[in-house]
């Protein structure tokens, strides 16, 4: 087991972050659990200005059915640069409608019960963060905003939302969470339908099995959408490794999260590794990686975007951990304090325990150890755990780490040879991970 990170000097998962720009406070070493080789630094222009590089060579082959190129009149007049969520929504709605028709030819029951549920889930909300990071990385590296290549990249970016749907459906099932986005989780909906229809067997078992299939279907259709997006063969080849790695990393992170809940306890370093794998990589770093390689960016530019994504992605998960303890259901769409009742071994709780031990406060340590996995932890008892976590200084420490991570990501983006308008969009996305006022 690796040693726990100190609170005064921590190194990012996946390798060290670059030194800060002179205008900002040094982010310092942020985390302490390297999980992948460090990316090389981006080259600096002698003048100090970012040096844009040419876009990837345009594929001039005539469209073929496998590329699924759509004529301009069939595309929305709202371009991705103007309203990316709307553009992603359009692609997802079209793809899911096509797949539902195919499913209905197999079985009306399958289409009505499982495919409709999945389509409603995918189209029923979400910030579309992962497609946004991929798209703006593509644009930052010289990719055009419109045309056949851009439409293909948009469709590929939308495939990330189907991977996200798989992750959320499976996550709710594994955690036994009853809610998602302030609505019943997929396995709960399916169990209720079983009960209402008077079917045989246990509704809960049926709901769990059907939700598992819905998540599997989302993952399969993500791959179909990616490979049917119309990407040029050269772009497909460049993106093959990160696309494959991203899906495996996500599953590895989910398993380690599940294992950590069963084991209990765990170090801050182990919690950071899970956060990096389960969410940070596939939310930010890999989408940036994919957008850059699709645009044909040089290795050093890809490396810079990955460094920025590694830092911002970890900040994203640490913010999610804070919301899992302190967030209100109206804000999170999940039950209050769910991370505590589920016994998730988060970095926040690991730091709180470490600080209580360092102070020799055995009473606080016992309370914090007893809290995770307590399904009856509501009301006053939940407020007590929140106050203990805050009193140890763990909440403030995690917020400082998040600020340093985001600051490092912004510094890296500022120095990289990227298109400036796209950098402003990427920076805005990263800044959204900085802690706001207490919920």
**What is the per-residue pLDDT for 352?**
94
Residues 79-231, CATH architecture: Orthogonal Bundle (1.10)
With a CB cutoff of 8 Å and minimum separation 6, the contacts of 240 are none
Higher pLDDT, 333 or 412: 412
Residues of the chain above pLDDT 70, percent: 78
CATH class of 235-439: mainly alpha
Task: Band the pLDDT of 50: cuts 50, 70, 90.
Answer: very low
**What is the per-residue pLDDT for 126?**
85
Residue matched to tokens 């830092």: 311
**What is the per-residue pLDDT for 283?**
95
Token pair listed for 41: 């630094």
CA 269, 161, 290: angle at the middle one, nearest 5?
70
**What is the per-residue pLDDT for 65?**
35
Task: Band the pLDDT of 46: cuts 50, 70, 90.
Answer: very low
- pLDDT higher than 90, residue 431: yes
Task: Name which of 107-116, 133-142, 373-382 the model is least confident about.
Answer: 373-382
**What is the per-residue pLDDT for 177?**
87
Q: Which residues pair with 32 in a beta bridge?
A: 11
| Buried b / exposed e along 397-424 (16+ C-beta atoms within 10 A) | bbbebbbbbbbbbbbbbbbbbbbeebbe
Token pair listed for 16: 């060290």
- pLDDT higher than 60, residue 54: no
Residues of the chain above pLDDT 90, percent: 61
The pTM is what?
0.82
Task: Band the pLDDT of 164: cuts 50, 70, 90.
Answer: very high
Query: Span 409-438, mean pLDDT?
Result: 91
For residues 276 and 321, give the distance between their C-alpha atoms in angstroms, rounded to a whole number: 12
**Most trustworthy range by pLDDT among 67-71, 305-309, 345-349, 363-367:** 305-309
pLDDT in tens, 278-324: 888 999 999 999 999 999 999 999 999 999 999 999 999 999 889 88
Higher pLDDT, 59 or 202: 202
For residues 326 and 319, give the distance between their C-alpha atoms in angstroms, rounded to a whole number: 10
pLDDT in tens, 2-33: 333 334 334 444 444 433 333 333 333 334 33
**What is the per-residue pLDDT for 134?**
98
- pLDDT higher than 80, residue 139: yes
Q: What is the mean pLDDT of the chain?
A: 83
Token pair listed for 235: 């772009």
Task: Band the pLDDT of 420: cuts 50, 70, 90.
Answer: very high
- pLDDT higher than 80, residue 424: yes
Query: Span 189-218, mean pLDDT?
Result: 97
The enclosing H or E element of 30 equals: strand 30-32
| CATH 1.10.600.10, the chain: domain bounds | 79-231, 235-439
pLDDT in tens, 55-102: 333 333 333 333 344 444 444 456 899 999 999 999 999 999 999 999
**What is the per-residue pLDDT for 375?**
64
Token pair listed for 403: 């600020």
The enclosing H or E element of 100 equals: helix 84-106
For residues 40 and 30, give the distance between their C-alpha atoms in angstroms, rounded to a whole number: 18
SS3 183: strand
Task: Band the pLDDT of 439: cuts 50, 70, 90.
Answer: very low
Query: Span 152-156, mean pLDDT?
Result: 98
């Amino acid at each position: 087991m690796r040693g726990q990170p100190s609170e005064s000097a921590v190194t990012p998962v996946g390798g060290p972050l670059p030194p800060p720009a002179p205008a900002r406070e040094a982010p310092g070493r942020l985390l302490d659990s390297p999980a992948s080789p460090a990316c090389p630094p981006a080259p600096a222009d002698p003048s100090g200005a970012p040096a844009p590089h040419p876009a990837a060579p345009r594929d001039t082959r005539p469209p073929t059915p496998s590329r699924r190129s759509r004529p301009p009149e069939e595309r929305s007049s709202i371009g991705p640069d103007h309203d990316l969520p709307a553009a992603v929504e359009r692609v997802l709605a079209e793809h899911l409608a096509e797949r539902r028709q195919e499913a209905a030819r197999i079985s009306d029951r399958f289409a009505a019960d499982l495919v409709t549920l999945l389509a409603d889930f995918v189209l029923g909300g979400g910030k579309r963060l992962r497609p946004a990071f991929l798209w703006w990385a593509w644009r930052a590296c010289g990719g055009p905003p419109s045309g056949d290549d851009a439409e293909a990249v948009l469709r590929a970016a939308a495939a990330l939302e189907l991977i996200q749907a798989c992750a959320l459906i499976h996550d709710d099932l594994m955690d036994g969470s009853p809610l998602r986005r302030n609505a019943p989780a997929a396995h709960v909906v399916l169990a209720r339908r079983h009960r209402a229809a008077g079917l045989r067997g246990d509704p809960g078992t049926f709901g769990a099995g059907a939700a598992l299939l819905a998540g599997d279907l989302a993952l399969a259709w993500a791959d179909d959408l990616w490979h049917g997006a119309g990407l040029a063969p050269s772009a497909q080849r460049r993106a093959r490794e990160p696309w494959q790695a991203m899906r495996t990393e996500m599953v590895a992170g989910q398993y380690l999260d599940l294992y950590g809940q069963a084991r209990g306890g765990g170090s801050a370093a182990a919690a950071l590794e899970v956060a990096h794998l389960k969410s940070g990589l596939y939310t930010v770093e890999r989408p940036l990686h994919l957008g850059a390689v699709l645009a044909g960016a040089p290795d050093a530019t890809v490396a810079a975007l990955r460094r920025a994504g590694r830092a911002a992605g970890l900040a994203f998960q640490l913010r999610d951990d804070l919301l899992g303890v302190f967030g209100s259901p109206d804000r999170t769409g999940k039950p209050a304090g769910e991370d505590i009742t589920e016994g998730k071994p988060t970095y926040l709780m690991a730091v709180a325990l470490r600080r209580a031990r360092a102070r020799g406060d055995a009473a606080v340590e016992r309370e914090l150890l007893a809290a995770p996995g307590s399904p009856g932890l509501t009301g006053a008892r939940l407020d007590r755990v929140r106050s203990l976590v805050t009193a140890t200084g763990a909440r403030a420490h995690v917020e400082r780490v998040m600020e340093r991570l985001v600051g490092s990501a912004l510094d890296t983006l500022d120095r990289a040879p990227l298109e400036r308008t796209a950098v402003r969009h990427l920076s805005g996305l990263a800044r959204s991970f900085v802690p706001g006022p207490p919920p």
